[in-house]
C-alpha cells in the first residue's frame, strides 16, 4: 500500500468513526454530551485489534493490515458495501463477490429422520450460519413462520430479531435474543472475516436496529443447556429444556431440540403442536 492510499484509508476511517451515532452502538454521550463519534479504543475493541494498531491505521502509517482486519473495521464502522469495497481496494485487496443469501443445502436423510424421531419435542437443524435447514412437525407448530419464510432468509437470528410473532412468544425477549447472538458469535469466531458471515451481519443490521445494538455489545458465550419458555398463542405456556446435538457425520449441522418439561400447559400443548389433538 503506497503512501497516498494509506493516507486516504486513514482519512476515510477517521471521518466515518467521527460521524457514527453512539446510540447505534448502545453507548451513551461523551464529553459535553456529544452523541456522535466513537473513540479509537472503542472501534478497536469492537474490531478485535489493539488501539495502537488501529491508531496507526488512521494515521496512515506504513503497516500491512490483513484483509480480516479491514473487513472487521468496515463492518463495525457500518460502512456501506461501496465504502467497504473502496477501503479493501485502498488496502490492496480485490473485493470478493458478495454472496447472495441462499437456501441452505438439504440435510442428509438421516438428520431428517432424527428430527422426526424427536417429535413431539420441537427440533430443528442449524447450519454454520444459523440457517434453519430442516425441522420436525412440532417445530413447525411452535414457529409458525418457518414454513412460509423465504428459504434464503430462513435464519434463526432473523426470526428472533425481525419476526413479531416470535418476539411475542418470548417473555424474556431481550435476554433470549442476546443469549442467542452471543452463542452465534462464539461459534462464528473462525469465520468472522468470511464473506457469508459479513453478508449476514450487514443483512441483519439493515433489518433490525435491535440486532445492530446487540451485535455491537460484543457479547460472546458458549452454548449451555437451559430452560426455554414460550407463551404460544395456541399451545399456551410451554416450558422446555433446550439441548444441542452435533452429529459426528454432519459436524457442520447443529440439532437443537426443545425437550418438554411437565410444567405450565406443556404436556397438552406439545401434543397440539405435533397435530395429535
**Cα distances (angstroms) measured from residue 221 to each of 27, 161, 187, 227:** 21, 18, 9, 16
What integer pLDDT is reported at residue 190 of this predicted model?
Answer: 64
User: pLDDT by residue (tens digit) across 140-180?
Assistant: 999 878 988 988 889 999 999 999 999 999 999 999 999 99
pLDDT at 110 over 80: yes
All three cell numbers of 61? 502509517
Q: For residues 84, 87, 93 and 97, what is the CA-based torsion angle, rounded to 10 degrees?
A: 20
Of the given ranges (69-73, 93-97, 161-165, 266-270), which has the lowest mean pLDDT?
Answer: 93-97
Mean pLDDT of 124-140: 94
Q: What's the pLDDT score for residue 133? A: 95
Determine the Cα–Cα distance for residues 264 and 139; give it in Å rounded to an integer: 18
Q: Could you read off the pLDDT of 92-101 as tens digits, one per residue?
A: 998 766 656 6
What pLDDT does residue 220 have? 85
When mean pLDDT is compared across 119-123, 151-155, 178-182, 270-274, the lowest value belongs to 270-274
What average pLDDT does range 26-33 have in this prediction? 85
Q: Which of the four pLDDT bands, split at 50, 70 and 90, describes residue 72?
A: confident
The confidence score (pLDDT) of residue 123 equals: 96
Chain centre distance of CA 71: 16
- Contact criterion met (CB below 8 Å) for 173 and 167: yes
Position 97 scores a pLDDT of: 63
Give me the mean pLDDT over the 126-142 stretch: 93
* pTM score, whole prediction: 0.69
Mean pLDDT of the chain: 89
Amino acid at each position: 500500500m503506497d503512501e497516498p492510499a494509506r493516507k486516504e484509508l486513514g482519512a476515510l476511517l477517521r471521518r466515518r468513526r467521527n460521524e457514527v451515532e453512539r446510540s447505534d452502538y448502545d453507548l451513551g454521550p461523551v464529553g459535553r454530551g456529544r452523541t456522535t463519534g466513537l473513540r479509537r479504543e472503542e472501534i478497536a475493541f469492537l474490531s478485535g485489534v489493539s488501539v495502537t494498531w488501529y491508531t496507526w491505521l488512521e494515521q496512515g502509517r506504513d503497516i500491512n493490515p490483513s484483509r480480516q482486519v479491514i473487513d472487521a473495521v468496515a463492518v463495525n464502522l457500518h460502512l456501506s458495501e461501496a465504502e467497504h469495497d473502496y477501503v479493501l481496494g485502498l488496502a490492496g485487496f480485490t473485493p470478493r463477490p458478495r454472496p447472495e443469501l441462499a437456501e441452505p443445502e438439504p440435510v442428509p436423510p438421516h438428520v431428517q429422520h432424527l428430527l422426526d424421531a424427536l417429535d413431539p419435542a420441537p427440533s430443528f437443524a442449524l447450519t454454520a450460519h444459523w440457517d434453519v435447514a430442516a425441522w420436525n412437525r412440532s417445530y413447525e407448530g411452535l414457529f409458525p413462520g418457518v414454513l412460509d419464510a423465504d428459504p434464503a432468509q430462513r435464519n434463526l437470528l432473523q426470526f428472533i430479531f425481525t419476526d413479531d410473532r416470535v418476539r411475542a412468544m418470548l417473555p424474556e425477549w431481550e435476554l433470549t435474543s442476546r443469549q442467542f447472538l452471543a452463542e452465534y458469535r462464539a461459534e462464528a469466531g473462525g469465520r468472522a472475516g468470511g464473506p457469508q458471515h459479513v453478508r449476514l451481519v450487514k443483512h441483519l443490521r439493515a433489518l433490525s436496529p435491535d440486532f445492530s445494538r446487540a451485535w455491537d455489545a460484543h457479547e460472546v458465550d458458549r452454548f449451555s443447556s437451559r430452560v426455554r419458555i414460550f407463551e404460544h398463542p395456541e399451545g399456551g405456556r410451554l416450558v422446555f429444556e433446550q439441548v444441542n446435538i452435533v452429529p459426528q457425520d454432519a459436524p457442520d449441522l447443529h440439532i437443537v431440540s426443545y425437550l418438554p418439561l411437565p410444567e405450565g400447559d406443556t404436556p397438552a400443548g406439545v401434543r397440539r403442536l405435533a397435530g395429535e389433538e
